[in-house]
Amino acid sequence: MKKAFFFCFLLGIFLLPVLSYSQNKHKTDSLKQIVNNKALHDTTRARAVLLYVAEINKYSDSNIAILVWADSLSRKYNNEKLTANLVYEKLNLYRGGGDPCREKLFREATALVFYCHQHHDTLFEAKGYFTRASAYWNYNMTDKAIAEQIKAANLFMKTDNLHTKAYNIYLVGYYMFNNDQYTEALPYFIKAYGMSRQENNKGMMLETSGWIGNTYNALKKFDSAIYYRHLSLSYVKDGVNGARADGYRYLGNIYQNMGMLDSALTIYQRSVKMFIAVGNNALLEKYFIAKIYSKQGKYQLASKALDQLFDTVKHYNNPLVKYLSTELAGDVYDKAGEPSKAILAYRNLVKMNDSIQKSDKADNVTEMNAKMQFEQAEQMQQVEEQHRADLAQKDKQKEVFIRNVFIAGFICLLFFGAIMYRNFLQKKKANILLVKQKELVEEKNKEILDSITYAKRLQDAILPPLGIIKKYIPESFLLYKPKDIVAGDFYWMERSGDTVLIAAADCTGHGVPGALVSVICSNALNRTVKEFRITEPGKILDKVRELVLETFEKSENNVQDGMDISLCCINTKTKEIQWSGAYNSLWYIQHGEMKEVLADKQPIGKNDKPTPFHTHNLNLQSGDTLYLFTDGYADQFGGPKGKKFKYKQLQEILLANTSRSMEEQKTILEGHLDEWKGSLEQVDDVLIIGIRV
């Protein structure tokens, strides 16, 4: 019984490819019969062509011809979707046709874009731009590839497939990165990562977070690079695999760029073991190990590593590693005391350079250059020894010169010392006077600083404690960073029954003047809610404006101060939300989309044509997030060009991290602000309140 079963099993394995081929051939034969059956409708035959060519998936003149014929049928019956599919299938065949099909590929991709744009087919228009971008990239036309891929990504963003959106956004960053546009590439990688998190696509999360790390490495922001490279490794499946080995290789590159050679060496060695375990020769990683030994001055270890690498690389066609290793080998063997190996390496390097240059230079120039490099390689050891002798002689001469200068300087010091002592006695009296004046100034400054510090205690008293905010709105965060000790920005909260009122306000100015205005405005909010029992946001702002103007009208001066505000009313039982704003809008994220409720374009203060503030009723669902804010974050100057951060970039950060906890969002916002600001001064108070419904 067992023997019969084993025989059937072997027979099944043997016949499986035959049966598969038979089924595929039967399928293509059936499709051919449909295509040739003139009794069928033309569009049915055209669809059969589409399936037949997709099944064959091979470039040939006959396959192209049958697609052109089917295309004419679909256009005859105005079948736009079928036409787009047929043209796109032609693109796939041309891509497989290699360099001779280059012009046809560009022409057909352009035709697809034009046709789909006319017929409002966003998906296939995007595919056309995507194809042109990849073709430009394959032929090293990088700038054009980036431009086309941006068009493709923008169109794919209008489709429903989240993975396709993320992948095309990622490709823009990838093309830019490989064109050395690191600053421009970073936002695309970050956006693609955020979209991949929404989709929970571990593969894309691994890829995009890894490239964020690579980009920060290229920008020399090594802490961020290490964080994202470790984040990328966290998405790799457990165990030894190529993705984990590749991730460690990139991590080693970061530590090498930081100059942490021991750490880089350890990581490269780990990467090599993993690559070998999965059947990869790990040539590039072995080269990096030899290079680090050389940088550390461990030339014997570097020499041994290169010997092993050369034994391996001769069995594989990897010209890049072979060239880099040969380039490194001459200096390493020379310093390791292996002159014969060094000369051989120099000779091999000359031969490689000669081979590379032959395509661009005339033969006689190449021969002269090769000869010169060969002579330099043989004489390098002698030149280095002479150079060391010259350095030793110069060091000796330098010591004599320094000694003579020291003696002359000491004599001059004795001469000028007497003069300086006399001047010292004269200045001593003046310094005593200056010290007294300085002490007086410092005392006054301390008095002023103590007053402002005490004013901060008073201003803190009008701010609701964070514990109270968390009690009534647990899913929330508060990012509050005054520019000075006291601030013009303030946050406010009041509770009335099941209703919680919370606001982010920006008073005129900052520092002490802004703080004084904030006390007046905060008091007006408290009176409106507690004394006048008003809870509708628009009517609250109307009454607050009235009270603020009433306060300022008591002054003989024309006071123009006031505040901008974003005020939200939340019913903790029904989850009903009302909102009103003066200049400061409201953002909320629903179903992964950022939405904005515009504020009234008038302040809480004096206005030529005041109108009642509007109350907006919002229909939000559990999990949606609200953001109340002032203008300080978006107006902060910084970045590589010293420009404003702007609201668009703030929206992108919030949108990319909306799935995180509110405290994590606060930490990320603080990190981006500190990184953007760098060494520049904070220009205004910063206030953002985040609330998850």
- The kind and range of the H/E element at 569 are strand 563-571
Q: Is 626 helix (H, G, I), strand (E, B) or coil?
A: strand
**For residues 349 and 27, which has the higher predicted lDDT (pLDDT)?**
349
Using one digit for the tens of pLDDT, what is the confidence trace for 160-181? 888 888 999 999 999 999 999 9
Cα(209)–Cα(132) distance, integer angstroms: 26
pLDDT at 645 over 70: yes
Does domain 466-692 sit in CATH 3.20.20.70?
no
Kindly report the number of other CB atoms within 10 A of residue 386's CB atom: 11
Q: How far is residue 320's CA from residue 567's CA, in Å, rounded to a whole number?
A: 62
Type of residue at 310: F
Q: Which of 206-220, 348-362, 469-483 has the lowest mean pLDDT?
A: 348-362
Q: What is the pLDDT of residues 583-610, one digit of tens each?
A: 999 999 999 999 999 999 999 988 888 9
pLDDT band at 371 (very low <50, low <70, confident <90, very high): very low
Instruction: Please tell me which residue, 308 or 586, carries the higher pLDDT value.
Output: 586
How far apart are alpha carbons 640 and 183 in whole angstroms? 8
Q: Provide the pLDDT for residue 687.
A: 96
Mean pLDDT of 356-381: 40
Domain ranges within the chain, ordered by starting residue: 387-462, 466-692
The continuous run of DSSP H or E covering 306 comes out as helix 299-313
Measured distance CA(290)–CA(301) in Å, rounded: 8
pLDDT score recorded for residue 690: 97
Q: Point out the least confidently predicted range of 108-117, 261-270, 346-355, 577-586.
A: 108-117
CA R_g for the chain: 36
Mean pLDDT of the chain: 80
165-185: b or e for each residue (b if 16 or more CB lie within 10 Å)?
bbbbbbbbbbbbbeeebbeeb
Which of 250-259, 343-352, 378-387 has the least mean pLDDT?
378-387
d(CA 240, CA 515): 59
Mean pLDDT of 316-340: 84
Tokens (6 digits) for 104: 């046809």
Q: What is the pLDDT of residue 585?
A: 96
Query: What does the buried/exposed string (b/e) look like for 320-359 if buried means 16 or more CB atoms within 10 Å of the residue's CB?
Result: ebbbbbbebbbbbbbbbebeebbbbbbbbbbeebbeeeee
CA distance linking residue 376 with residue 555, whole number of Å: 87
DSSP assigned state of 530 = I
Kindly indicate the confidence band of residue 357, based on its pLDDT and cuts at 50, 70 and 90: low
pTM: 0.47
Give 214-264 pLDDT, tens digit per residue. Answer: 999 999 999 999 999 999 888 988 776 788 888 888 999 999 999 999 988
| Residue 662: its H or E element | helix 662-677
